[in-house]
Structure 1
Amino acid sequence: MIHHISVSAKNPQHVAQVLAKVLKGQLAPFPPHPGSYIVFPGDEYGTAVEVYPLGSEILPGTAPNEQCKFVNSDNPSSFTATHAAISVSVTQEEIEQIGMSEGWRVVRCNRDSLFDVIEFWVENRLMIELLTPEMASQYLAFTKQPEKLQEFFATAT
């Protein structure tokens, strides 16, 4: 079970505000890393999305029991392989309206004829797969059948 994910953004506060709309959640500053925000949809899983300034990195502590620490890179890439698939209660039309109001790319995609997602391109650089209730049902129908997963990955290689 994934309870939270962190992403980076050029404008963390604005991105957190937009994600709060899509997730129908609340946002707050994230004190451990100044300039960061956290979005809570208030679901039964404690789901959260932390939004850090672009260039943020988390490094391991240097002493045996020292926790991680935040640092900033001066030359971050604009793109990342990090992404998440998140179920939302809003419709495809609402997602498209929110994306259009931001000037962000939004496209409905089919993943190998198994399930659909909406690619929601935050700041046109970070992709989050949003799943409407219908899409989440498709996704769960596929992922909750271990034999289907094994067959898919065995034939995909």
Structure 2
Amino acid sequence: DFDYWNPANEIKTLLGRGNQNVFEDSVAPVHEAGLTLLWEDSHQIDANLRLDLAPGHTPGSSVLRLESGSDRALFVGDLMHSPIQIHEPDANSCFCEDPAEARATRHKLLGAAVDSNALVFPAHLGGHGAAEVVRAGSKFAIKGWAPFAKYTEAEQA
């Protein structure tokens, strides 16, 4: 994504300059300060966390995978903008830079979530928590929601 969104490369994006100045304002200064780590394909953060390439929404979209003991979770970021995309993984948002690749990536990751019993944490589906996903023919369905726990101040201490 670094090269794709860098305006110096003059790549024609789906929205054109719809994200004008985002790179210059929020990415370039951090990179110029030496605070970025650019990676390709996957990046192991620690023993439990890994970033994996999940292209389609953008060429460098990624998914954060958590594996701890038998627990699995996929934090899917911009891969899903609506719960309908779990039931209809071929449905794209209007922001997908490569619609065909976005559909293929959604199918692949939802299938991986089912196969590994991973909870799916979609960033754009506020308030629900994580989805437990099951197969429904060639598509998928939400078996249930694993809600975010509500803690009292005493429990947090």
TM over 0.5: no
TM-score normalised by structure 2 residue count: 0.31
